[in-house]
Structures are given as C-alpha cells and as structure tokens.
Structure 1
Amino acid sequence: MAVIFSILVNQKVGSYIGGVLWSRLNAILTPMLVKVSGRENVNQMQSYVVVSNHQSVYDIFLIYGWLGIDIKWMMKKELRKIPGIGFGSQKVGHIFIDRSNSKRAFESINEAKRKLVNGTSVVIFPEGTRSQTGELGTFKRGAFKIAYDLNLPILPITLVDTKNILPTNTINILPGRVKMVIHEPIDIKLYSEKEPELLLEEVRRKVSSAISN
C-alpha cells in the first residue's frame, strides 16, 4: 500500500499515508486496541534515530500506524535482491546498508543523511532480533554508532504487549491491547562518542522503564 501511494504522490507523503493505512487496517482486522503516551515528546520537524524494543512482527504495525512521523528502516543490502521486497523498499525510500567495505558503508550513511531530514526518521531495533519472552535483550552498539554518524537525537520508544498479539514461533494472531510509550529524546552530544556504552545504557534504561512485567 505504501508503495502504491509513493508512486501516486511523492515518496515522503506516500510512504507515510500508505504505512498508516496499512497498519491501522491490520489493527482493525486483528483486532488490536492501541494506547499511546508521550506524543508531546515528538517534534514533527525533527528527524530522529528511533530506538525500540522488539517483541513481535506487530511492532512494525504499531510504529508505522501510531508514532505519527514519516519513518524509514535500515535494511541489509542483501534484501535489495529479494523480488518484491527490494523494489518496494526502494520505492518508499528505505535505506540499504552495505558494510562490506568502508567506502560502501560511507556511501550508505551519506544516503541516509540525504533522506533523514525535515522530520523523516529511521527506526532501529538494537536487540537485533525479537525477544522470545518479552524481556528486554542486550542492545548492540550499531544503532548508537549510526546515531553518531547521522548526528541525530535518539527517540527511545517502548512497545508493550505486542508479543501477545502474535507470539514468537507461531502463526496464531490473537486480539488484544498494546501500548506505545514515547520517551523524551536524548541529545547524543551529551555523550562522548568514545564511550558509546554510556549512551547505550541510558537509552536501554528508558526503554526498559515502561516494559510490563
């Protein structure tokens, strides 16, 4: 749906409207009831590196449908070659990261800098995979290196109970209630790039603070 809207109108408006409609339609059909807190922490004209926990495939619907800003995803370069996924992702402006050598990695970051302006943000799951239990996993440093490379503030968000809608290792979709908590942005300039673990720990603390036990 986002691809169609991106072709019919411009890429930013098309990907945002298409993503919202696609996500909210899925929520209606599930059904999934959504509560959002912390919207006041989002500046619509500021681009962010959005850092989120990852519990379920439904995390994508929740972020697309309710975060309220245009977002892009950083994807491995290999996904560009997959029929349908590669074409569609390119049309809506997602960013393919190639870290096979320093020159290509530099080009990927420059592409991201061109796209992530005027409120268009990138979403990263620093755990790298979905949590099997819903508990917060270990954060990898890559997300925070990207934030320094892009010179963008980090917007931490917490997704709660999406694991109950579509549990890991099952295809059973269950109705339920979920929540998104949008935390205050973090200015990366307050943390030395030489000590990224301090920034990592602060972001993880914020994300963890809203996870249901």
Structure 2
Amino acid sequence: MFYWLMKYVVIGPIVKGVFRPWIVGRRNIPAEGAAILASNHLSFADSIFLPLMIDRPMSFLAKSDYFTGRGLRGWATRAFFKGTGQIPIDRSGGKASEASLNTGLQVLGGGDLLGIYPEGTRSPDGKLYRGRTGIARMALEAHVPVVPVVMVDTDTIMPIGKRIPRIGRVGIVIGEPLDFSRFAGMEGDRYVLRSVTDEIMIALQRLGAQEYEDVYASTVKNRAVARASQGSRSSLD
C-alpha cells in the first residue's frame, strides 16, 4: 500500500511532471514472473526513475546506510527508500555479500522483479565498467531471465556529489531479456559466472553505446582517491 501511494500518488506524478522521463522497450519486461533488471549506474537518480517508469513493482538492493539516518532527514530518507521498493543490505563484503545474494534470491523466489547494478557502484565518469559476477550467480540460481536496462542522462541532472537534481529530461532504454538457461546447474563455476556477466555487460554496452572499460569502477574510483591524496601530500612538501 505504501509503495502504491509513493509511486502513484506522492512521488510519481511530481517527478514525471518535472522531468518528463521517456522510456523505450517497456514491453520487454515480463508481464509476470521473476526477472532481474540489470542496469548501468550513472546517478543516484537511477533508482528513482526506473521503478517509476515500469508497470510492475520492483526492488533494488540499497546500502543499509540509507536506512539508518537520524532525525527528520533520516526518517524522510528511510521512508522514501522503503516507499520506492529499496531493500537495505550490508555491502561491506565477505559474509555480507552472501547475505545480499540471499536477499536478492528471496525477492526473485517470490516471483518479483529485482533491480541490480552489475558494476557494483556508480560510474565515476559516464563510462561502462566491468560487471561483478553476483548478478550471474543470482540469475542461474533463481533460473530467471536478465533484462538489460540503460539509463540515459541521469548523470546530467544529478551528478555524483549533488543532492539536489537539475531540471532536465532523462530516458530509459530496455532491451530484450537474456536467457541463460543453457548454464543451468553451473552457478558454482566461476568461469561460467564471468562469461554470463560479460554477456550482460556487452548487451548493456550495445544498448546504450557507452564507452566500455574492462576494469571495475571501484578500482577507478580508488585510483582517483589515491592520486588526489598523493597530490595533497605533494602540495604540503
């Protein structure tokens, strides 16, 4: 009920009226049954526009920090994420990664749509980066199709570091579902998981024509932080 109110009464009409988002390929999302929506990740706004522009409810796995804030702002953030179908997860790695996987499998086991960003984090520069294999494992274990989704210009209206979006149009392009049933029972093979993940990333690259780099986005971010830190130390010498 809360999800319905947020999507169709509170957030949806306002966001659609202000940003006039467009969508292509909505028919490629299965009308029923579980599926993974695999999206590129340009902006915080991606998790807002995609759920609003499709006909079925969907869930994203969101970092737990968004649900632990205090005060009025913390309450508002928590209410917003819950109302837009976000599920809190611990993204610290190790056992937390396994717990996140199980949470995603529960969503899929219920016959619902699950949104995943295969890159694992937002692109630091608009490029498409190497995918994490967790999405492949989920798809094979849950026996569900993967629908490639490309977000367009969300980084223009809300770049990394900005809390208030600029006014502008954004778009969504949804590709045809990818069927990985030929790999049934092979979710424990790391080479298969990498192959499936790479196939998903190729589909995203072709759908959106983003420049692709075969390196993790998190690695690029860490390198940038290291360079900035080195530059700061040099300036103090």
Name the Cα RMSD after superposition: 3.1
DSSP 3-state at the match of 2:170: strand
* Counterparts of 1:55 and 1:93, CA distance in 2: 19
Q: 2:147·2:178 contact (CA, 8 Å) conserved in 1?
A: yes
Q: Paired residue for 2:48, among 58, 61, 83? A: 61
**Residue in structure 2 matched with residue 18 of structure 1 by the alignment:** 6
AA in 1 matched with 2:152: V
What runs of 5+ residues in structure 2 fail to find an aligned partner?
Answer: 211-237
Contact 2:101 2:134 in 1 (8 A): no
The superposition leaves residues 152-176 of structure 1 with CA deviations (integer Å, 9 ceiling, x where unpaired) of: 2211111111111112223452222
| Counterpart position of 2:129 | 137
Shift of 1:134: 1.5
Q: Secondary structure at the match of 1:49?
A: strand
- Is 1:40 aligned with 2:27? yes
SS in 2 for 1:210: helix
Contact 1:53 1:157 in 2 (8 A): yes
1:73 aligned counterpart, secondary structure: strand
Matched residue SS, 1:177: coil
Q: Per-residue deviation at 1:114?
A: 4.6
Compared CA separation, residues 168 and 90, structure 1 to 2 (3 A):
closer
* Shift in CA distance, 171/101, structure 1 to aligned 2, threshold 3 Å: closer
Name the TM-score, length of structure 2 as normaliser: 0.68
Superposition map of 1:114-153 within 5 A: 114-116=106-108, 119-153=111-145
Structure richer in helix, relative to its length: 2
Aligned sequence identity (%): 22
Q: Which structure's CA Rg is the greater one? A: 2
**Mapping of 1:86-125 within 5 angstroms?**
94-97=86-89, 101=95, 105=98, 109=102, 112-116=104-108, 119-125=111-117
The verdict on how the C-alpha distance between 1:163 and 1:80 changes in structure 2, with shifts beyond 3 A counting, is: closer
Contact 2:153 2:169 in 1 (8 A): yes
Q: Which moved more, 1:92-101 or 1:202-211?
A: 92-101
CA distance in 1 between partners of 2:67 and 2:166 (Å) = 32
Contact 2:39–2:117 at 8 Å: present in 1 too?
yes
What's the offset of the Cα at 1:190? 2.4
Cα deviation, residue 96, structure 1: 4.5
